[in-house]
């Protein structure tokens, strides 16, 4: 581990030197790549420098203890030694986590798909509420939300909604939301007051950018244009602006109608299709590496029931990590950071455990 850290420290110094060269600053692509590498290395290098300093503090305190005879001074040195040793242990754990292999998609924007499952209208109503949950969370992170397609029902529910969230590290946090979400409550339409259970599915997919090679052959795709349906208004429903794509090899069908322009809807539909194809490729890879998937929380089995929202008791339970919170109102308003942080911590612990087993 420490050989690797020394290598990273050397690489960091090289990058800092390169960034000061006029030839590099003139080459925008090279400059951006180096800035990204510098940004990725900075937390590791800073933690390693502090680790080395704390290690030196331990050595200095031990040396001074050997020479010191005054009891008061010895007591003070012992306290400093204890604090430095504790910090060394903390930084060693922190460095192990920082050196874990990084998900290459973590810095990407995400495309989220929410679908109503079992429970009819109640599931569609809950899908709309979860959509708003993510919009509120994105706003709290100062991320941008852009709706790509929505299939609404008359009472305010959504059978399906696709939207993009753009922001630094969006995928690194929202990837833990993929899976089946279950709601338990008394529907407003239920006169007998019985608790119903409904489900929705959430798929969080990284946006596919230029560095990922997803080829869609013209012969494999059918493009249909049509008039948008639903609450479009202002000429959305009077022009052939909606776009539907059918991908023959996989049977995937995507639809976009939120823009007035057919070209904009087509671009959104292709972005969604690429994300779905890339996600399918990732799922197949995870299935092939079953052991790896078991050691990770997040981008695993999409059919897995990950969370239950129990309205009568005001609680939310994440089944993967055994976390229960009694703040359902706040969660439904987008306050999900505590759940995400717990998922990240559990994911890191599982990966560290697996690395130790391999080691």
The pLDDT tens digits for 81-116 are 999 999 999 898 888 888 887 888 888 899 999 999
One domain for residues 244 and 345: yes
Lowest mean pLDDT among 248-257, 286-295, 301-310: 286-295
Give the mean model confidence (pLDDT) for residues 166-173.
91
Residue 168 phi/psi, 5-degree rounding, is -60, 120
pLDDT at residue 183, as a whole number: 93
pLDDT of residue 207: 85
Please tell me whether residues 61 and 124 are part of one structural domain.
Answer: no
Same domain, 92 and 176: no
Whether the CB-CB separation of 59 and 51 falls below 8 Å is answered with no
355 lies in a domain? no
Question: Taking the CB of residue 27, how many other CB atoms lie within 10 A of it?
Answer: 13
Q: Of 193, 202, 197, which is closest to residue 128 (Cα–Cα)?
A: 202
Per-residue b or e along 291-317, where b marks 16 or more CB atoms closer than 10 Å to that residue's CB = eebebbbbbbeeeeebbbbbbeeebbb
Name the residue among 106, 112, 127 with its Cα closest to residue 271.
112
Of 64, 98, 132, the domain-final residue = 98
Average pLDDT over residues 15-40: 85
The total of structural domains in the chain comes to: 2
Residue 19 lies in a domain: yes
Other residues' Cβ atoms within 10 Å of the Cβ of residue 337: 12
- Looking at the structure, tell me whether residues 131 and 81 fall in a common domain: no
Please, which residues bridge with residue 197 across strands?
Answer: 184
| Residues 344, 174: Cα–Cα separation, whole Å | 10
Write down the pLDDT at residue 303.
Answer: 67
- 206 shares its domain with 185: yes
CATH code of the domain containing 225: 3.30.70.1660
Distance between CA 34 and CA 270 in Å, rounded? 30
Indicate whether 154 and 278 sit together in one domain.
yes
- Rounded Cα distance between 195 and 99, Å, is 47
Rounded Cα gap, residues 131 and 127, in angstroms: 6
Looking at per-residue pLDDT, the higher value among 206 and 231 belongs to: 206
Residue 342: which domain range? 110-349
Residue 211 has what pLDDT?
A: 62
Same domain, 129 and 245: yes
pLDDT digits (tens, 9 = 90+) for 74-83: 888 888 899 9
Say which residue, 235 or 256, is predicted with more confidence: 256
Q: Which residue has the higher pLDDT, 57 or 188?
A: 57
Looking at every residue in the chain, the average pLDDT score rounds to 84
120 domain-assigned: yes
359: pLDDT strictly greater than 90:
no
Q: Give backbone dihedrals phi and psi of 254, rounded to 5 degrees, phi first.
A: -125, 155
**86 and 179 belong to one structural domain:** no
Query: Residue 329 falls within a domain, yes or no?
Result: yes
- In whole angstroms, give the CA distance from residue 246 to residue 25: 44
Helices (DSSP H) in the chain: which residue ranges? Answer: 2-19, 22-26, 28-67, 71-98, 120-140, 170-174, 262-288, 290-294, 328-332, 337-358
Percent of the chain with pLDDT strictly greater than 90:
30
Whether residue 195 is predicted with pLDDT greater than 60 in this model: the reply is: yes
Question: Do both 251 and 286 map to the same domain?
Answer: yes
CATH no. for residue 44? 1.20.58
* Alpha helix positions (H), 141-261: 170-174
| pLDDT tens sequence across 254-267 | 888 877 788 888 88
Domain presence at residue 169 = yes
Higher-scoring residue by pLDDT: 259, 124: 124
Question: What gap in Å lies between CA 2 and CA 19, rounded to an integer?
Answer: 26
Looking at the DSSP bridge assignments, the partners of residue 318 are: 307, 323
Q: What's the whole-model pTM score?
A: 0.74
277 and 207 in a common domain: yes
Is residue 358 very low, low, confident or very high in pLDDT (cuts 50, 70, 90)? low
Q: Please classify residue 148 by burial: count the beta carbons closer than 10 Å to its beta carbon, then call 0-12 exposed, 13-18 middle and 19+ buried.
A: buried
DSSP 14: H
Q: 276 with 253, same domain?
A: yes
């Amino acid at each position: 581990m420490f050989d690797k850290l020394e290598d990273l420290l050397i690489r960091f110094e090289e990058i800092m030197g390169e960034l000061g060269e006029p030839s590099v600053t003139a080459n925008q692509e090279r400059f951006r790549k180096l800035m990204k590498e510098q940004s990725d290395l900075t937390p590791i290098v800073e933690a390693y420098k502090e680790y080395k300093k704390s290690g030196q503090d331990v050595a200095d305190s031990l040396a001074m203890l050997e020479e010191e005879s005054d009891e008061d001074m010895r007591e003070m040195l012992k306290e400093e030694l204890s604090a430095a040793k504790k910090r060394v242990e903390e930084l060693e754990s922190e460095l192990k986590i920082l050196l874990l292999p990084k998900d290459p998609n973590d810095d990407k924007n995400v495309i989220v798909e929410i679908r109503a499952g079992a429970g009819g209208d109640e599931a569609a109503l809950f899908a709309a509420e979860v959509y708003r949950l993510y919009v509120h969370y994105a706003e709290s992170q100062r991320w941008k939300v852009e709706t790509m397609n929505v299939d609404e029902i008359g009472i305010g529910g959504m059978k399906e909604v696709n939207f993009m969230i753009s922001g630094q590290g969006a995928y690194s946090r929202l990837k833990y939301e993929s899976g089946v979400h279950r709601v338990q409550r008394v529907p407003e339409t239920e006169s007998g007051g019985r608790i119903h259970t409904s489900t929705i599915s959430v798929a969080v997919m990284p946006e596919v950018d230029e560095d990922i090679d997803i080829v869609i052959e013209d012969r494999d795709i059918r493009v249909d244009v049509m008039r948008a349906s639903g609450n479009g208004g202002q000429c959305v429903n009077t022009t052939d602006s909606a776009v539907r794509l059918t991908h023959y090899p996989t049977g995937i069908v995507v639809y976009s109608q939120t823009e007035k322009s057919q070209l904009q809807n087509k671009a959104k539909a292709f972005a969604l299709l690429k994300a779905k194809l890339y996600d399918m490729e990732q799922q197949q890879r995870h299935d092939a590496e079953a052991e790896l998937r078991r050691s990770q929380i997040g981008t695993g089995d999409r059919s897995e029931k990950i969370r239950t929202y129990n309205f009568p008791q005001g609680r939310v339970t994440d089944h993967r990590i055994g976390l229960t919170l009694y703040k359902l109102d706040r969660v439904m308003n987008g306050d999900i950071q505590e759940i995400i942080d717990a998922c990240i911590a559990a994911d890191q612990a599982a990966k560290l455990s697996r690395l130790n087993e391999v080691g």
